[in-house]
Each structure stands twice: as structure tokens, then as C-alpha cells.
Amino acid sequence: MATLTQPPATEEPTALGYVETRGLSKHFGDVRAVDGVDLCVMEGEFVVLLGPSGCGKTTLMRMIAGLEKPTAGEIYIAGERVDDDVPPRARGIAMVFQSYALYPHKTAFQNIAFPLEAAQVERSTLRRKVQWAAALFGLDRLLDRRPRQLSGGERQRVALARAVVRDPKVFLLDEPLSNLDAKLRAMARFELKQLQRQLGTTTIYVTHDQVEAMGLGDRIAVMDKGKIRQIGTPRDVYDNPADTFVATFLGSPPMNLVEQDEHTLVGFRPEHFLPREVFGEEPDLVTFRLRVREVEYLGSDRLAYGYLEEERRSDQPVIAAVPITITAPLAEGEVYEFAVRRRDLRFFDARTGLRKPAPR
Amino acid sequence: MSGRAAVRVAKRAALYTAAVAFTVFAVFPFYWMFLTAFKQNRDLYVGATNLQHVPWIFNDPPTLDHVRLLFFNTPYLVWVKNTALVGAAVVAITLVVAVPAGYSLARLAGRWGERLGIGIFLTYLVPPTLLFIPFARVISVLGLQNQLGALVLVYPTFTIPFCTWLMMGFFRAVPRDLEEQAMIDGYSRLAVIGKVVLPLAVPGMLTVVIFAFTLVLQEFVYALTFISQVERMTLSLGVPVALVRGDVFYWGSLMAACLITSLPIAVLYSSFIDRFIAGLTAGAVKG
């Protein structure tokens, strides 16, 4: 903590990241919505804040936007400290809300032009920029319509066009795809990713949908109870979860956790947990006997739910995701031999839930 | 199946009967005003002695006598002008106060906004019959007795609480996201209110205008207390004062005055009915 005796030097310790938070907290009464978050987003990076509802991800984003005042901590955008007195309009950010927040009394054109009007952009430039943004999202023919005359997907694109039109330093996107139906969502995800690559604008994206997070993020910050539990590339977070929360939050179905002894939980992903015969003569396997209770046919996989018939029984069911290409019989009520490669096992401290190295 | 169909028909019939009954109930006063305003006196009063007389129709040809009396033998047009003046002033004052107050209560006062709003609304429920005595004192101290200014001063005491409450509902219905979006889009809170919130609250402000004006139009107690000169009266006071002379009721002219005054209001109301309902339920149902 810097003392007050020294006036802030012109060369403040410049933040490493393009968007950075240090010890950022927000308390609502007794609730610690955000609890000491250190987040560092590099220039041009796409970072996803992922977590269950109520984990503080939206509050964190709203503080970066300037819509909530932090209880404690610092926020830097492009090297400038903004948490204290910089209002949202002066932070150089653009935000897309889950509801899209289109102005219902304005046409699509006026909606997109609204941020430019605030910046008092000259009329001809404004027209050109709006047209550029509209073309980017294929909205050319819809500019005269009002929001209520637009479909959900079109509204979402107007909101995005309004966000990009004034060339912000940072995009903040709060679950922008969650109001789209499933068919549109995959397409919109792809377009969003393309767009971000093309513009190269630093982006922070909030979602509770792990598929969106995995698909979009350069890095994912997994949040729970106001804290970032882990931050890393999608592969990193998925393959090497830092604790049991991350392990079970990511992945569908989630990672299986089995008690190994009183100090250790062992985890393995359902897709790594396959009938023994699949592995043939491979060395380094760990085998379990699984009593199958229920088999779900999901088209591409069969999910086998069951309990381990070992000395140590997990009280939670264990799930195996068996690709449809593996035709091994799976009947309800029967016991089968299943196996996991030793390198696919992850170990966690039974008390803290934190990752720990494999026991020798 | 036919049993169920019968039940459906019966339900329909009950619905329409109720609707028709209510319509008759609502329209009848207008019809009675209309009849009375244009009936000749003989037709109007003979029913008191002749029980064979049918009161719901014109038995004699209609006449304009009562309307003529109203326009040429009473200062009816002066009252209309006075009412319009007072109404316009009160509406303006109400808007200037109730719109910012409603916004503040809806957005800035936090948890206390709700309770404060209810408190403000409660003051609307204090009846004028209790308040006119202290007000009379205030008016005489200000030297406003027998002047329209007295009414302009007093009427906002009930229009503002009511309209603040109304505006609160309308502002609540404006999604918070829109304001936050506009603040991110580059505007200060004041600019956001001007460019986003107020345009979306126009139906609310229209409702306020009509409500405040109607409240002024129907107010009687304060007008009676503070205005004594016929030429300075408003409609609601002037009409009964000038057209009830001793125990003589000029029923035809009274009803003519009521009809002429209430018709524009009725038309105005019915053309904004959807917005009224939206305004009154704005807090409960999200638009």
C-alpha cells in the first residue's frame, strides 16, 4: 500500500495488463459479491468470466464499467486508474447488456449513432461510421426499424454494432448470447469470435455457459463466491483444474470425484472413464468396477451412471461417457470393469479442495 | 360435449349481460344530461304531476333555450377561461415538480424511495374539507383572497403528490439497463434523463397532464372557500352558484354546462385509455 506522504508520481507503477484490477472488492451489506479480485487482461485479449449465477462475475464487470463503485481495490484501463472518479462515459468502454438495452424510441440507425452523437462526431463522419458498423453485422436494410420490429438476433447485432461503432478501448459483454435461441447461438458465437479477431479489441465477456466460455475465450477466469478460482486457457482450465469447484463446474457431465483416502480426492473426466477392454494392452491404467444403474443414450455418447464397487465407495454416482463408437455392452444393474489412464487422474486435497500433486 | 357447449354459451351470455349492464350504467348519466339539456321546461317538469309521462324520451321537440341561457345569461365562457388558466398553471407546476420527484424516488432514493413515495401518496388522501381552514389562513396572509392565484397555489398540494406517485411508476418501468447503457455510451446522468428517460416517459407525462387537469376541473371545496366573485369562479363552482338560485334549479342549463364540460374530457380519456392503464399498473406489470 502506498502511503499518502508521497504524492502520486507521474510515473505511477504502470499496470501490466490493458485492463487490470487489484484487490477489487464489492460488498453489498454482508454479502461479498466480489472479494479481492486480481485480474489482468492483456491488450487484444478475449477473457471470459465464467461462473454460476451469483458468483460475482457481473458485479466485477459492472465495476470495470463504472456502474458500481468498488468497496475496495483499484481498476486500471489502458494504464489509467479509473476506479475512483472516472464516470462510465469517460472510461473508453463499450458494453453489451444481456437485454441488449436498445433505446426503444430510436431506430436502429439512431441507436448505433447514439454513442457518436455523445462524442459530437461530425454528421458525415457519423453517417459513414454507422454504415460501416451496420455493414459489419449485415444490418444495412434494417436501419430504419425500431427495436420492437427486429428479431432477437437482429437486436443483438444492433447492440453489437452500437458497441463497435465508436472504436472503444475495451468491450464488456454481459451474456450477450443468452437471449438467442440455441440455433442462432452457435452462429453468433462464431461471428463474435471472428469480429473480435478482426478488430483486435480487448474484450471481457461474462457468461455462465461453459460452452461459450470454452469456445470464445483466449483465457477463462472461473469465479465462485466472489473470487477467481482459476484463470487460464480453456484447455488449461479444463485439463488441470485448480480445485474441485473448477473441476466440477467445467465439463458436462462434470468431473467424477472419488475419495481415495481421508486426505485425498481423485478426479477423472467421464470421457476418460471407459470400459477396460477399450484400452487393450496399454500400461499405466487404473481400473474400477462399476455397477451401472442407469444408461442414457445421447446420440453421440452413452452416459452410464453407477457406483464404484470398490472398498472405498463414492456416495456420489460416477458417470462414464462412452462414445457411441464403442459398442461394449452396458446393461443396467450389471457390474463392469472400467479404467482410466493414470495420467488422466487429478488429485485434490479432501479438506481444501485444492489441487495437489499425484501421490507417489 | 353438448353439456360443455351449453356451459360455454351460458358463460358468454353472462359476460355480455354484465358488459351491457355496465355500459348502460356508465352511459346513462350522459344520456340524462343530454335529455335534460335539450328538453323544453314543460317536458322536463310535467312528470312531477303527471304519472303517465315518459321521462326517457323527448315528448316535445328539443330546444336550445337552456344552452342559450347558459352562454348569454351567465358568465359561462369566463368560467371556462378561468378554469383553463388555472388548469394550465397547475399542470405546469405539477409537471415541473412531479417529474423530477418521481424520477428521484424511482431511481435515486434506494430502499427509502418506496416508503417515501407511499408517504407522499398518503398526503393526497387528506381531504380538502380538513385542509381548507389552515389554507384560508395562508391565503389571507398572502393577500390572495378572491383571486385565481389562490387556486394556483392550493391545487398543486393535491396534484403533485398524486402525479409524483404516477411518475414514479412510469420511471420504474423504464429499464435500468437503458440508463446504464446511455451512461456508457457517453452521457452524464442529466443528459441520460433528457435523451432517454423523458422520451420514454412521455405517456406518463401525458397521464399527469390529463389527471392534474381533471382534478382541477372537478375541485369544488377550495374554489368555494377562496373565490367569492362570480367572474373569478371556475366552472365547478360557477355553474352551481349561478344556476341554482334560491330553491330554483335551472336543470336544463346545469346539465348543458355539465355535458359541454365533460364531453371533451371523456373523449380525451378514451383516446388515452391504454396509456392510463399502463400508467396505473406500471409498477406491477413490466411493460
pLDDT tens column, A346-356:
999 999 999 99
Asked whether the CA dihedral A122, A199, A188, A212 is positive or negative, the reply is negative
Contact call for residues A61 and A222 (beta carbons, < 8 A):
no
* Residue in A66, A89, A103 nearest the CB of B188: A89
Mean pLDDT of B162-187: 90
B199–chain A Cβ distance below 8 A for any pair: yes
Task: For residue A110, tell me if it sits in a domain.
Answer: yes
Task: Measure the CA–CA gap between A179 and A157, rounded to whole angstroms.
Answer: 12
Task: Measure the CA–CA gap between A238 and A346, rounded to whole angstroms.
Answer: 11
Task: Measure the CA–CA gap between B215 and B218, rounded to whole angstroms.
Answer: 5
The CATH number linked to A288 is 2.40.50.140
Instruction: Tell me whether residues B175 and A119 touch, CB distance under 8 A.
Output: no
Task: Measure the CA–CA gap between A11 and B124, rounded to whole angstroms.
Answer: 60
Comparing C-alpha atoms, which of A304, A297, A301 is closest to residue A332?
A: A304
CB contacts, 8 Å: B203 with chain A: none
Of A185, A216, A239, the last residue of a domain is A239
Task: For residue A113, tell me if it sits in a domain.
Answer: yes
Mean pLDDT of B92-120: 87
Domain span holding position A299? 254-356
Residue A280 Cα, gap to closest chain B Cα (Å): 58
Instruction: Tell me whether residues A101 and B177 touch, CB distance under 8 A.
Output: yes
Per-residue pLDDT reduced to its tens digit, B241-286: 888 888 888 999 999 999 998 888 888 888 877 766 665 554 433 3
B188–chain A Cβ distance below 8 A for any pair: yes
Task: For residue A118, tell me if it sits in a domain.
Answer: yes
The H-or-E segment that residue B6 falls in is helix B2-38
Per-residue pLDDT reduced to its tens digit, A63-94: 999 999 999 999 999 989 998 889 999 999 99
Same domain, A226 and A123: yes
Same domain, A100 and A218: yes
| pLDDT at position B68 | 92
Mean pLDDT of B122-151: 89
B180–chain A Cβ distance below 8 A for any pair: yes
Instruction: Tell me whether residues B183 and A88 touch, CB distance under 8 A.
Output: yes
Per-residue pLDDT reduced to its tens digit, A43-64: 999 999 999 998 999 999 999 9
Same domain, A202 and A258: no
Nearest CA in chain A to B185: A115
Question: CB within 8 A of A231, min separation 6: which ones?
Answer: A39, A47, A219, A220, A221, A222, A237
Helix/strand/coil percent split, chain A, to 5 = 30, 30, 40
pLDDT of A360 higher than 70? no
Residue B214 Cα, gap to closest chain A Cα (Å): 28
Same domain, A144 and A276: no
Mean pLDDT of A259-263: 86
Same domain, A148 and A120: yes
| pLDDT at position B149 | 92
CB contacts, 8 Å: A66 with chain B: 183-184
Confidence at A11, pLDDT banded by 50, 70, 90: very low
Task: For residue A14, tell me if it sits in a domain.
Answer: no
Instruction: Tell me whether residues A88 and B199 touch, CB distance under 8 A.
Output: no
Same domain, A99 and A212: yes
pLDDT of B174 higher than 50? yes
| pLDDT at position A196 | 92
Mutate: best of B178, B185, B189, B193, partner A, most A CBs <10 A: B185
CB contacts, 8 Å: B181 with chain A: 95, 97, 101, 103
Residue A116 Cα, gap to closest chain B Cα (Å): 8
pLDDT of B20 higher than 80? yes
B77-240+254-280 carries CATH number 3.40.50.620: no
Residue B202 Cα, gap to closest chain A Cα (Å): 11
B247–chain A Cβ distance below 8 A for any pair: no
Same domain, A205 and A109: yes
The CATH number linked to A217 is 3.40.50.300
Give the residue numbers in A contacting B (CB under 8 Å), as ranges: 65-67, 87-89, 93-95, 97, 99, 101, 103-105, 114-115, 118-119, 162, 166
* Inter-chain contacts counted by CB atoms under 8 A, chains A and B: 53
Same domain, A195 and A70: yes
Same domain, A203 and A262: no
Mean pLDDT of B7-35: 93
CB contacts, 8 Å: A67 with chain B: 180, 183-184
Q: Report in angstroms the alpha-carbon separations of A232 from A36, A212, A266, A267.
A: 18, 15, 22, 19
Task: For residue A153, tell me if it sits in a domain.
Answer: yes
C-alpha cell at A316: 456420489
Task: For residue A199, tell me if it sits in a domain.
Answer: yes
Instruction: Tell me whether residues A101 and B196 touch, CB distance under 8 A.
Output: no
B178–chain A Cβ distance below 8 A for any pair: yes
Residue B267 Cα, gap to closest chain A Cα (Å): 26
Of A239, A271, A303, the last residue of a domain is A239
Same domain, A123 and A66: yes
pLDDT of B207 higher than 90? no
| pLDDT at position B276 | 65
Domain ranges, ordered by start, for chain B: 77-240+254-280
Mutate: best of A28, A93, A97, partner B, most B CBs <10 A: A97
Per-residue pLDDT reduced to its tens digit, A147-183: 989 988 899 999 999 999 988 999 999 998 888 888 8
C-alpha cell at B177: 439497463
Task: For residue A195, tell me if it sits in a domain.
Answer: yes
* Residue in B184, B195, B199 nearest the CB of A93: B184
Into how many domains does chain A fold? 2
Q: Could you check whether the bond before residue A253 is cis, i.e. omega within 30 degrees of 0?
A: yes
Of A178, A210, A239, the last residue of a domain is A239
According to DSSP, the β-strands at A72-77 and A19-28 are: antiparallel
Same domain, A165 and A87: yes
Q: What is the mean pLDDT of chain B?
A: 87
Same domain, A35 and A109: yes
Mutate: best of B181, B193, B195, partner A, most A CBs <10 A: B181
According to DSSP, the β-strands at A170-174 and A93-96 are: parallel
CB contacts, 8 Å: B191 with chain A: 118
Q: Which residue has the higher pLDDT, B52 or A88?
A: A88
Task: For residue A9, tell me if it sits in a domain.
Answer: no
